[in-house]
Structure 1
Amino acid sequence: MAKSLFIAPTSTDSGLTSVCLGLLRALEQVGVSVGFYKPFCQVVHQADATHNKGKDSSVEFVRSHSHLKPPTPITLKEAQHALNHNKSDLLLERVVGEYQKVACTVDVVIIEGLEPDQDGTYITRLNAEVARNLGSEIILLTSPKGCNPIELDEQLGFSARLFSGQNEADVLGVILNKIGAPKERKIPGMTTLTAIPPEDYRNKCNVFSSGQYRLLAEIPWEPSLLAPRVSDIARELKVDVLHEGQMQTRRVHRVSVCARTISNMTEILKSGTLLVTPGDREDIVVAAAVAALNGVPMAGILLTGGLLPDQRVIELCRRAMETGMPVLSTTTNTYETAHMLAGLSRSIPIDDPERIDTAMNLIAPRIDTDWLQEHLKVPRQTRMSPPAFRHQLSERARAANKRIVLPEGHEPRTVQAAIICHQRQLARCALIGSAAEIRAVAASLGMELPPDLEIIEPSEVRKRYVAPMVELRKHKGTSAEMAESMLEDNVVLGTMMVALDEADGLVSGAIHTTANTVRPALQLIKTHNNAKVVSSVFFMLLPQQLWFTETAP
């Protein structure tokens, strides 16, 4: 019989969906056969219905990010109607039946509860009744929101009593989410959002230090997870789109309400900034256009007051808009627009898989899966799931600690990948190229290049590979001049580093063809003595299985 974990939030804005999906991914990565069930569909913010077209975000995310097909939840309105008409037994019977459809094929089921609200006492009742009828163990989810340890003790104690059985509480553990989040919600960009120093809840909260409840995860507040796409803002606020640009991919990390002179606004023209300004401030529009032409990927411009720049100014800025900068327009004034932006939904729309995937990857590694697995006593699956494969691959890469050279050091995706690999400690990446240009590329992406990420200036090292290359290619009559010319190609330079065992591997192909990437390896490293044909392999992550296939040589 499957065991179930009921995730019960103690307050609103606790990141319920993200945590449930993060827990799902964490258990999948360690090989647990896990399912997902959400009994009731709840609309927390009015805009959620606009973004998701009536669909439940949790269920849709699970369906799109795994092989699982959880049943469609019962609407909260329908559940409330059943409770008001003394039909709670029929409602819970339906819930149990839907749960069994999920539980019959897995070992553990994650159940997403309902977020409490100000006047919905029936929500707490529903959570408790569902958990009791499904025989679930409770995991309380809370966001401390600046609480001190004593206050958090009281909050968790009160919440746990709501799920208490006749003899003892059924609460298994606690997940603390958004640790260090600011207490007050402010308009992004008008007041800097900064994390507050976190408390040592693990040691200072009595419920944890006494062993009453297990602290299963401490998840820090991550402001980037609040960054909507420009298209999300346009959809939610129902503003006009004057120029779409890259509004489907550009994210708003900060909002700047601007009515300054150009000399006083240069510091706000940064990657990820949504500039809110009256539509007749043509000087600000031109300044933003200059920033875009200089490679700054601003989130976009939102013109207020129903005003538009002169057509001649628009034409002057046409090249800037062609860089992908979105331009929106609203009839509301700047003050009203700023407050509308402050009230945006924090939920992740179902058509934004990148953001939910980022949230799941932030949360999953912080879950104490070792303890959970031991507590649940669930054996590993014999068949490796795709999440388990990715997790195992990452762990093996960290353990191997290989040095990988990246000859396409100026290519934006390569720079981004190198930074991510460095942060996740997957490899010791070495970017080949001009340090100044690489830092400029990183800055244009809104990323900070780690100070210990290795950069190899090709002009400074090229000459010391001439002699070794002449030696490797002497059977072809390669001269020093020929070798030096060939080493102008960074792929050849990186391949020499691998050939001399100075690097463990090379990754290329973002701007080079496969032939240009493989040819230097065949010329300088060559195949094994017993191998005459070069081939490759693909790993295919199917919904429930991992396959690999060899491609044509």
Structure 2
Amino acid sequence: MTTTVYVAGMSSGGGKSTIALGLTELLAARAGRVAAFRPLAQPGGDGILDLLAGYHGLRVGHGASYAEAGQLAGAGRSEELISRIVERYHELAREADAVVVVGSDFGYQDDHQEFPTEVAFNVRLAGEFGAVLIPVVDGRGRPVETSAAMAKNAFYAVEALGGDVLAVMINRAAGPPGPVPITLPVPVYAIPDEPLVAAPTVAEVAAALGGRRLAGSADAYKKNVLDFVLGAAQVPTCLDHLKDGSLLITPGDRADLIVAAHAVHAAGMVSPAGLVLTLGETPDPKITTLLERLGDLAVVGVDADSFDTVAACAGVEGRPTADNPVKVQAALAAFAAGVDTADLSTRLAAPPPTRVTPLMFEYRLIEQARADRRKVVLPEGGEERILRAADSVLRRGTADLVLLGDPALINRRARDLGLDVSGALIVDPVTSAWRDEFAATYHELRKHKGSTLDGAYDRVTDVNYFGTLLVHSGRVDAMVSGAAHTTADTIRPAFEIIRTLPDVSVASSVFFMCLADRVLVYGDCAVNPDPTAEQLADIAISSAGTAARFGVEPRVALLSYSTGTSGAGADVEKVSAAAKLVRERRPDLPVEGPIQYDAAIDPAVAAAKLPGSAVAGHATVLIFPDLNTGNNTYKAVQRSAGAVAVGPVIQGLRAPVNDLSRGATVQDIINTIAITAIQAQS
């Protein structure tokens, strides 16, 4: 049975995007296939559906356009409209385990008596869909007491119309986040006001003003505008009001303010969102040449005067979009801060999934990491992807972070990108007070290999060695590196300093392969070129443990070009011996080998080649006989099947150190940080 949650705004606006994002992620962790639906969609595309389709990759659909709704209502055919919407909802719901429905907007003008009022219309549809309702109250700019009273009124209004209310949410609440102490039969949650979520980008402001782009790259126009500063005073006074994210509005002939704004940006003192130059004036070409050398700031030109421009800007509001992950993460963080997700999940009673989907896997990673936060060091602190991932990890509370590098350069780079990494500890290995201690430790560990104290003093300024020593000393719990370093650069310090667990003969790796309908675990695809039978057994047992730790039920297949006794040779015998060792050491672990890949994952092939096997056709952990096979297979599946490969996840070390691909995306890095933090929990 499909679980359907209907988000219904109780007034215009209200920030339904934040609620939709949070609910989608919550359901995806528990219900497998999630879809999103809007009864009525805006012409030319719907912002919320575009967001959910672009960010979460959901299947989306809508019932009718506002124009269609108006025509049918005007002709007295409201029931036909309802039928059309319900039919299109069911077309989408048949292919989903859960659906998030985002109700109609109050922008629709009800000029026809036959057409129901907005709230009644949404409650009626929720009933037709068999959906539970979440009324959303807009708390922005309202006292806490007023918002609480509105939440209570919303519950009784929806209930009186026959709606089944799951919870009431006060979005953009002024008071403390979390459950609101109101006497109602359902919980009321206060989601905090996060200004970044509704902040427009410079590009959105420019479009609203009909402005001309005078300077700045495409990235500069993606910066979020947190406030507006009218540049009418002298430079010192104006600079007192200019903050990170400020959009300076000033006449185009105020060269002093224009240069000053660029100068504080170039100096790393403040990172303005950009400038709007009014009165149709543009700076002298000599000034423009100077500005180009002072950094990349968006500069927009308009013909209106400054005061009219400020007034026009006041009405510009942004919303989260799939191509603005900072806003999305800020919205998700606000939702998580305000909603008791465990209690809400219990109330939803979503059907248990039969498989772990990629979205479910990613969400569970974040939840599991947040439940017992660990400290992770990121040696490549100045790398853009690392900073973007760090912003997300800190906003979501996935882990505590240490960034390595020059603090001034890292902070400036983060501000230029519109990111917030103020919650991270930033350490420069060259000037750190820990350098002497780490040099002595490294010298003691490696003197049998000829390490000198002077050499160790230089060695520990390498960010990967310094980060590994942070782990070894217990100052952090784990390390993630590799976005700008080779695998050897990342892993070698771990082998030298942290070393393997006593009962593990060899460190190894796995990739979590997120396919369209399941998550598989591949090992070893990154570390061991040609493992022995004993090492292959170790890899299989370690990989099964890693899979179980991350919610993938381990059914282990040791792969070969032979299934059962269909082939012979040294390579087959190695895999057969490894399978025998695994059974002896872990009789509780479902294992099969040697087995071919198709027989391991395809039930039809398994029935023909290895009938009666508990693993064949249902394997979740696939162990390759050597690195050549494993590395090529994971890359072939990743590129040809469009799978997301999370890893390599290193296993068998005394403390977690994980390597990133140098082509890793920001989401890859976020996932790897979460995985590493979870490894550190145990």
Relative to the length of structure 2, the TM-score reads 0.67
Q: Is the 1:297–1:325 contact (alpha carbons within 8 Å) kept by the matching residues of 2?
A: no
Q: Percent identity?
A: 29
- Match of residue 559 from structure 2: none
Q: How many residue pairs align between the two structures?
A: 517
Among 233, 239, 250, which residue is 1:260 paired with? 233
The answer to whether structure 1 residue 101 and structure 2 residue 96 are counterparts is no
Among 305, 308, 312, which residue is 2:286 paired with? 312
The answer to whether structure 1 residue 176 and structure 2 residue 149 are counterparts is no
- Match of residue 641 from structure 2: none
The answer to whether structure 1 residue 202 and structure 2 residue 180 are counterparts is yes
Q: Is the 1:23–1:367 contact (alpha carbons within 8 Å) kept by the matching residues of 2?
A: no
Distance 1:443 1:343, change over 3 A: closer
CA deviations 1:289-338 (Å, max 9, x no partner) are 21232134321111111111111221222202xx2211110111111111
- Match of residue 153 from structure 2: 157
- Match of residue 228 from structure 1: 200
DSSP 3-state at the match of 1:71:
strand
Q: Is the 2:390–2:421 contact (alpha carbons within 8 Å) kept by the matching residues of 1?
A: no
Deviation of 1:3 after TM superposition, in Å, equals: 4.3
DSSP 3-state at the match of 1:317:
helix
CA deviations 1:68-121 (Å, max 9, x no partner) are 322244111211211111212221221121111122233443222123359537
Q: Tell me which amino acid in the other structure corresponds to 2:99.
A: V
DSSP 3-state at the match of 2:58:
coil
Q: Is the 2:400–2:424 contact (alpha carbons within 8 Å) kept by the matching residues of 1?
A: no
Higher RCO (CA-CA < 8 Å; seq separation 6+): 1
Distance 2:415 2:61 in 1: 44
264-273 or 499-508, larger mean C-alpha shift = 499-508
For structure 1, the 5+ residue unaligned runs are: 43-48, 181-196
Distance 1:394 1:9 in 2: 28
Distance 2:49 2:71 in 1: 23
- Match of residue 637 from structure 2: none
Among 50, 55, 61, which residue is 2:45 paired with? 55
Deviation of 1:389 after TM superposition, in Å, equals: 1.9
The answer to whether structure 1 residue 251 and structure 2 residue 224 are counterparts is yes
- Match of residue 493 from structure 1: 466
CA deviations 1:506-544 (Å, max 9, x no partner) are 233345444433333344445568988776443344454
- Match of residue 533 from structure 2: none
Q: Tell me which amino acid in the other structure corresponds to 1:325.
A: L
- Match of residue 298 from structure 1: 272
- Match of residue 126 from structure 1: 121
- Match of residue 189 from structure 1: none
Among 133, 140, 145, which residue is 2:135 paired with? 140
Q: Is the 1:139–1:171 contact (alpha carbons within 8 Å) kept by the matching residues of 2?
A: yes
Distance 2:98 2:355 in 1: 16
Q: Is the 1:227–1:251 contact (alpha carbons within 8 Å) kept by the matching residues of 2?
A: yes
Deviation of 1:22 after TM superposition, in Å, equals: 1.8
Deviation of 1:448 after TM superposition, in Å, equals: 6.6
Q: Tell me which amino acid in the other structure corresponds to 1:250.
A: K
277-286 or 294-303, larger mean C-alpha shift = 294-303
- Match of residue 470 from structure 1: 443
CA deviations 1:467-526 (Å, max 9, x no partner) are 433332233222222222323323323333444555433233345444433333344445
Q: Tell me which amino acid in the other structure corresponds to 1:324.
A: D
Q: Tell me which amino acid in the other structure corresponds to 1:40.
A: L
Q: Is the 2:4–2:101 contact (alpha carbons within 8 Å) kept by the matching residues of 1?
A: yes
463-472 or 156-165, larger mean C-alpha shift = 156-165
Deviation of 1:443 after TM superposition, in Å, equals: 6.2
Trace 1:336-355 onto structure 2 (pairs within 5 A).
336-348=308-320, 352=324, 354-355=326-327
Distance 1:278 1:423, change over 3 A: closer
Q: Is the 1:242–1:329 contact (alpha carbons within 8 Å) kept by the matching residues of 2?
A: yes
Q: Tell me which amino acid in the other structure corresponds to 1:476.
A: K
Distance 2:453 2:291 in 1: 51
- Match of residue 17 from structure 2: 17
Q: Is the 1:144–1:177 contact (alpha carbons within 8 Å) kept by the matching residues of 2?
A: yes
Trace 1:368-517 onto structure 2 (pairs within 5 A).
368-398=340-370, 401-409=373-381, 414=386, 421=393, 424-432=396-404, 453=425, 455=427, 458-499=431-472, 503-517=476-490
Deviation of 1:277 after TM superposition, in Å, equals: 0.7
Trace 1:64-83 onto structure 2 (pairs within 5 A).
64-83=54-73
Q: Is the 2:35–2:58 contact (alpha carbons within 8 Å) kept by the matching residues of 1?
A: yes
Deviation of 1:365 after TM superposition, in Å, equals: 5.8
Q: Is the 1:63–1:69 contact (alpha carbons within 8 Å) kept by the matching residues of 2?
A: yes
Q: Tell me which amino acid in the other structure corresponds to 1:360.
A: L
Distance 2:323 2:417 in 1: 23
- Match of residue 92 from structure 1: 82
Distance 2:376 2:320 in 1: 35
Deviation of 1:376 after TM superposition, in Å, equals: 4.1
Q: Is the 1:61–1:353 contact (alpha carbons within 8 Å) kept by the matching residues of 2?
A: no
Q: Is the 1:31–1:385 contact (alpha carbons within 8 Å) kept by the matching residues of 2?
A: no
Q: Is the 2:223–2:418 contact (alpha carbons within 8 Å) kept by the matching residues of 1?
A: no
- Match of residue 190 from structure 1: none
For structure 2, the 5+ residue unaligned runs are: 528-682
Q: Is the 2:215–2:298 contact (alpha carbons within 8 Å) kept by the matching residues of 1?
A: yes
In angstroms, what is the RMSD of aligned CA positions? 3.5
